[in-house]
């Protein structure tokens, strides 16, 4: 069987963001896991206007999208599973990440989703819990396990390496195992029929 396609999405786009450091750490583990062909999607490279199309993507699965979003749409469509790397922004998710989600619909349908969160005290958990609600509406399955980095600035050194890497590595492995199981099951199910 061919490898499952896993898209790792960097959810923050602001100048000086920490997201790429966390994404790089996770991507190394995802590639090392062996079950996935990994694509790293940086939302900062996509054009993501907040003004959505006139008709909801839920009703019109192929709305006209800006040229600068077309590559993102194709890469989301190609993925069997996603891992969203997200900080907490005011106890929720970055606006660019919400826009990327809302501009799409079928691209999330019946796919497996995992999370890596980081921020201050809450470690991305508030964003992760919001994302579980959001992806439920999109017929996606969010896996139970996750990785969280509370006060990430104490956990990573200046070179972007974890000071104590073992526990986060074990958390990443547990999540990747669950993601593999669900992505496999959902990929097989998608070949039989569309989600009701
Ligand atoms: C607009 C904004 C809101 C934030 N809200 C929270 C928050 O609610 N909880 C928290 O722990 N950290 C919060 N932070 C701190 C961020 O988690 C931290 O700055 C992190 O580095 C943001 O990710 P980024 O660097 O990839 O953009 C906030 C940061 C910003 C810019």
Q: How close is the Cα of 26 to the center of ligand 1, in Å?
A: 19
Q: Is the Cβ atom of 124 under 6 angstroms away from ligand 1?
A: no
Question: What would the DSSP string read from start to end of 53-87?
Answer: -SS-TTT-SS----GGGHHHHHHHHH-SEEEEEEE
Write down the domain spans for the chain: 4-194
Q: What is the pLDDT of residues 114-123, one digit of tens each?
A: 999 999 999 9
Would the pLDDT of 11 be above 90?
yes
Q: Is the Cβ atom of 90 under 6 angstroms away from ligand 1?
A: yes
Locate 178 and state its tokens: 């669950």
**Number of helical H runs and strand E runs in the chain:** 6, 6
| 92, 133 contact by CB (below 8 A) | no
Q: What is the pLDDT of residues 131-171, one digit of tens each?
A: 999 999 999 999 999 999 999 999 999 999 999 999 999 99
Q: Provide the phi-psi class of 33: left if phi over 0, else alpha when psi is between -120 and 50, else beta.
A: alpha
Identify the pLDDT of residue 153: 97
Would the pLDDT of 193 be above 90?
no
Would the pLDDT of 1 be above 60?
no
Q: How close is the Cα of 89 to the center of ligand 1, in Å?
A: 5
Q: Which CATH number fits domain 4-194: 1.10.10.10, 3.90.470.20, 3.40.50.360, 3.30.1490.110?
A: 3.40.50.360
9 bridge partner residues: 41, 84
Cα gap 149→22, rounded to integer Å:
9
- Residue closest via CA to ligand 1's atom 29 equals 89
Identify the pLDDT of residue 154: 98
What percent of the chain has a predicted confidence (pLDDT) above 90?
94
Cα gap 105→150, rounded to integer Å:
31
Q: What is the pLDDT of residues 45-94, one digit of tens each?
A: 999 999 999 998 889 988 999 999 999 999 999 999 999 999 999 999 99
Cα gap 169→148, rounded to integer Å:
11
């Amino acid at each position: 069987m061919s490898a499952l396609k896993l898209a790792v999405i960097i959810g923050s786009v602001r100048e000086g963001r920490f997201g790429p450091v966390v994404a790089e750490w996770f991507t190394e583990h995802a590639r090392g896991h062996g079950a996935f062909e990994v694509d790293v999607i940086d939302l900062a490279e996509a054009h993501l206007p907040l003004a959505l199309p006139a008709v909801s993507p839920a009703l019109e699965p192929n709305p006209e999208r800006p040229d600068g979003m077309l590559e993102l749409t194709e890469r989301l469509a190609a993925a069997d599973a996603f891992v969203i790397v997200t900080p907490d922004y005011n106890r929720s998710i970055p606006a660019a990440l919400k826009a990327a989600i809302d501009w799409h619909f079928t691209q999330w349908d019946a796919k497996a989703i995992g999370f890596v969160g980081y921020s201050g005290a809450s470690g991305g958990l508030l964003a992760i819990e919001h994302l579980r609600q959001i992806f439920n509406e999109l017929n996606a399955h969010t896996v139970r396990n996750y990785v969280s980095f509370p006060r990430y600035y104490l956990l990573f050194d200046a070179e972007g390496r974890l000071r104590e890497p073992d526990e986060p590595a074990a958390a990443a492995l547990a999540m990747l195992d669950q993601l593999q199981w669900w992505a496999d099951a959902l990929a097989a199910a998608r070949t039989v029929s569309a989600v009701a």
